[in-house]
Chain A
Amino acid sequence: MIKDRLTELNKAGIKKGDVIIALILVLASFLALLYSPGSSDSTEKYAILYHKGEEIDRINLDSIDNPYEKPYILNGLKAIIRYEKGSAAFIYSDCRDKLCIERGQIKGQADASVCLPLNLVLIIEGGEREKDMDAVVY
């Protein structure tokens, strides 16, 4: 039956090779659809630090080979953030509650750590999502 169809197509000016290329193209497109992670799910991962809503630092977490600690002094108050390959964490803050330190490492796309007394917000942009969720409510 397939042979008959190919003969028909051949008569219509479409060769067997054309059909195979077309089928390969369509199949490849569907495979790309199935395996593509999507543009927002897999990008370079950055830690971005905001003070009073303004970006004050941006670190490419993918490019870190050796972990390091970076101090920030803002309005006389100090915070230290430890940057590692793929993650960041407050490890010191002059705030009272230390909730930012308790928060620990953040590493997934759209993770955040907030030090409210120092008006600091540390977020992760890019990278993979930690969970198969569009957002987390808290």
Chain B
Amino acid sequence: MSKRSKPSSKSITTFAFVAVILLLIVIVTDIQGGKKAYGKSSSAMGASVFLTLCGGDEKVADAMIEAVKHLDSDCLSPTIQGSDVFNLNANSGQPLKVNAETADVLKKAVEISKKSDFTLNIALGQLIRLWGIDGDNPRVPSAEEIEAALNTADMSRIFIDGNTASIGAGQLIDLGAVGKGAACDIAAETAKRLGVKAASISVGGSVTFVGQKSVSGLKSLFGGSELLWSVGIRDPFGSVNDTFASVKVGPVSISTSGNYEKYFEENGVRYHHIFDPKTGYPSDSGLVSVTVFSDSGLLSDALSTVAFVLGYEKSLPILKEYSAEAVFVFPDKTVRVTDGIKESITITDSEFTLI
């Protein structure tokens, strides 16, 4: 039996030196890897879709976009023939089989609707059609017309049982208040299912961040703030390019509702597209915009509408109930925020004042 020779100090030192070099290369490569991202843009729901994936590729991005398009064209679009919502509206009063995604969105919307005392109302389709703000001939309807349209908007006539849904006879549903948020959710779920650890998803201005900004744990060596996403909030008085604030966030979904997106003007009055279901007129709660942060795209989208309609004071309880945070903008360019966001918001436009 041969005697095993003892490793020399020379070979140990050489091994240690090579190991250190390799480790440094791995660290640098790993940090660089955190910066690399795959970006893809597309269009769905009549809006722009932007994806940035850390740890994903074109196949994942395509799957995410396909999921969003499926949610639009097969499920939620009120105008695409054959979608579940189109079919429910065309066959109001009759139970229909719908996609699981449609049933899920309807259930969640109904739940938020109940908790918001029906401030979120997905049965305002007749009223939306009456005002025609999305169409070529918007107009201010008569009080009688508005009353008749509101009479069709009773949410208690919407039933969902498993994958079967029905709406009241003569009723029209419109999921515009939750659609883009739901699209962010389905894109995020697809990304996670396909192994993406971090992603930025934007559908028509609603945003969902998945995971932390960098997938590299080693990057935290250079400061914790590097792991947070930065989201800008649009200046409601400026153009789409303008922002007035930025917020550092972790994985969260964000939506804004404001009076600047879709509107028409008649006799010097601006009529925007977010209706108060109690009056049938565009809401007038003293806000110019409200941005909501929560753990779901659908929830943020829905709550931004609810908060915009209710106004600052009245919306605080439901935001708290859902552990959501919000940024409120008033006509005099003052800004109020909920407690959980005070430390992470930076006002970037000096014309705005945080109070």
Contacts and interface: CB of A to CB of B under 8 A. Distances in A.
Contacts, number: 160
Interface stretch (B88-96, B163-171, B230-238): B230-238
Interface residues of B, number: 61
A134 B233 contact: no
A66 B188 CA distance: 41
A26 B21 CA distance: 8
B240 to A, nearest CB: 6
A40 B52 contact: yes
A136 B46 contact: no
A128 to B, nearest CB: 12
A12 B9 contact: yes
A129 to B, nearest CB: 10
Interface centre among B46, B47, B233, B239 (most CB of A within 10 A): B46
Interface in B2-35: 9-10, 13-14, 17, 21, 24-25, 28, 31-32, 35
Contact of B205 (A11, A99, A117, A137): A137
B29 to A, nearest CB: 8
A133 interface: yes
Interface centre among A102, A106, A138 (most CB of B within 10 A): A138
Given A96-B136, A110-B41, A136 B231 contact: yes
21 contacts: A13-B10, A25-B21, A26-B21, A26-B25, A29-B28, A33-B32, A53-B72, A95-B136, A104-B241, A110-B50, A112-B48, A116-B262, A123-B50, A126-B39, A131-B243, A133-B231, A133-B243, A135-B200, A135-B207, A137-B256, A138-B240
Contacts of A59: none
Interface string B172-214: 0000000000000000000000000000101011110100010
B13 A12 contact: yes
Interface centre among B31, B41, B50, B73 (most CB of A within 10 A): B41
A32 B255 CA distance: 36
Interface string A32-55: 110010111000000010100111
A137 B14 contact: no
A75 B180 CA distance: 26
A17 to B, nearest CB: 14
B136 A135 contact: no
A134 B230 contact: yes
Contact of A133 (B38, B232, B262): B232
A121 B232 contact: no
A4 interface: no
Nearest to B73: A53
